[in-house]
């Protein structure tokens, strides 16, 4: 009798290599979280001095809370070395960096790995369409002849510090053919970091981007101590707005009720570690946009995503009251106080509009 053939367990795979592009908070945290799954993790930093410091000291030069890097993590400013032999590539760069990064390094990007886009942001393209890092990367790979390259999304409620500390986190791995990523999700998941499959990358990327806009408005409310009742009502209305916009841009409605929509929205609107919420709170307390950005302590993706969300809503003819007011605040047209007053006086409509 012939023994049935069993697919090898993830642990039976040949040695894998992970490359992480971006040595900021989230990129470094993901490198720490996945280090136990890979014998080698290449971590690319743009600044040679920072890479050298991190490689020598094993301590992040600007993030004092970041754990000491494990031996398998290899920080470097040499992109070719970091990408060489990689079977997975996590892209965790700030959204505004992708244009210059892809223009400069497109020829170095290999076709073979599974690319995992971990950046959460959106911008308005010249043709009026909403553009995202995933789409830029996919287009660059295709132009380089890598049309079969796989680009998936890695998103969900995940503060970098808790990811780095090994606290339980659930993320979404999204791709149009998500069923083909089951082995990858199984391999990458661990006891404290679980990956769930999703076949709607449009919804996942828009949920991750739009929640940052909503978190800025939540910060306005925190600055004025609106209270938990108001915050709960706001989150419900924010989710409805996110869902309207995402559906109009091609997403599935159910996706926004999941980890990368509701889950990420709850975390970002409530959490003290949220840069977008903190940015909004500083604006609400009277700081300028420049000062609030500096006080938030990192990239505030929602600031520019608000412009793309508002413009998309105008083009779609969709209601986007929150995105409109956040955009007008960060562009200097109204104050947070006026925005809150307008939001508080929002005319009653059907809850589902």
DSSP string for 136-188: HHHHHHHHTT-TT-EEEEEESS--HHHHHTT--EEEEEE-TTGGGGHHHHHHH
Three-state DSSP class for residue 93: coil
304 catalytic residue (yes or no): no
**Whole-number pLDDT of residue 1:** 44
* Bridging pattern class, strands 150-155 and 169-174: antiparallel
pLDDT at residue 2 greater than cutoff 60: no
Segment 167-220, tens digit of pLDDT? 999 999 999 999 999 999 999 999 999 999 999 999 999 999 999 999 999 999
Domains assigned to the chain:
10-199 (3.40.50.720), 203-344 (1.10.1040.10)
What does the pLDDT read at residue 7?
Answer: 43
Residues 74-86 pLDDT 10s:
999 999 999 999 9
Question: Burial of 148 by CB count in 10 Å (0-12 exposed, 13-18 middle, 19+ buried)?
Answer: exposed
In tens, the pLDDT along 126-159 reads 788 899 999 999 999 999 999 999 999 999 999 9
Catalytic residue among 74, 211, 252, 328: 211
pLDDT for the residue 51: 98
């Amino acid at each position: 009798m012939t023994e049935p053939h069993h697919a090898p367990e993830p642990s039976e795979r040949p040695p894998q290599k992970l490359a992480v592009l971006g040595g900021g908070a989230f990129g470094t945290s993901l490198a720490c979280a996945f280090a136990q799954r890979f014998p080698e993790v290449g971590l690319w930093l743009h600044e040679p001095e920072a890479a050298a410091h991190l490689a020598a000291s094993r301590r992040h030069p600007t993030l004092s809370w970041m754990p000491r890097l494990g031996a398998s993590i290899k920080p470097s400013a040499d992109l070719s070395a970091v990408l060489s032999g990689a079977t997975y590539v996590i892209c965790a760069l700030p959204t505004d960096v992708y244009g210059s990064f892809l223009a400069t390094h497109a020829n170095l990007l290999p076709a073979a790995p599974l690319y995992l886009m971990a950046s959460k942001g959106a911008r308005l393209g010249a043709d009026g369409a909403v553009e995202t890092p995933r789409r830029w990367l996919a287009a660059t790979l295709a132009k380089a002849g890598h049309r079969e390259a796989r680009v998936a999304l890695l998103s969900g409620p995940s503060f970098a510090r808790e990811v780095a500390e090994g606290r339980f986190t659930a993320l979404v791995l999204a791709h149009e053919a998500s069923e083909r990523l089951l082995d990858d999700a199984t391999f990458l998941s661990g006891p404290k970091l679980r990956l769930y499959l999703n076949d709607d990358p449009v919804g996942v990327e828009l949920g991750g981007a739009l929640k940052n806009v909503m978190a800025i408005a939540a910060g306005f409310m925190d600055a004025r101590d609106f209270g938990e009742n108001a915050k709960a009502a706001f989150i419900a209305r924010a989710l409805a707005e996110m869902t309207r916009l995402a559906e109009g841009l091609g997403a599935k409605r159910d996706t926004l009720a999941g980890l990368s929509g509701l889950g990420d929205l709850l975390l970002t609107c409530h959490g003290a570690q949220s840069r977008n919420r903190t940015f909004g709170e500083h604006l609400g307390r009277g700081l300028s946009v420049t000062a609030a950005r500096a006080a938030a302590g990192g990239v505030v993706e929602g600031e520019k995503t608000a412009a793309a969300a508002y413009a998309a809503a105008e083009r779609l003819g969709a209601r986007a009251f929150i995105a409109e007011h956040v955009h007008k605040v960060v562009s200097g047209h109204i104050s947070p106080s006026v925005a809150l007053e307008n939001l508080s006086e929002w005319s009653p409509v059907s809850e589902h509009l």
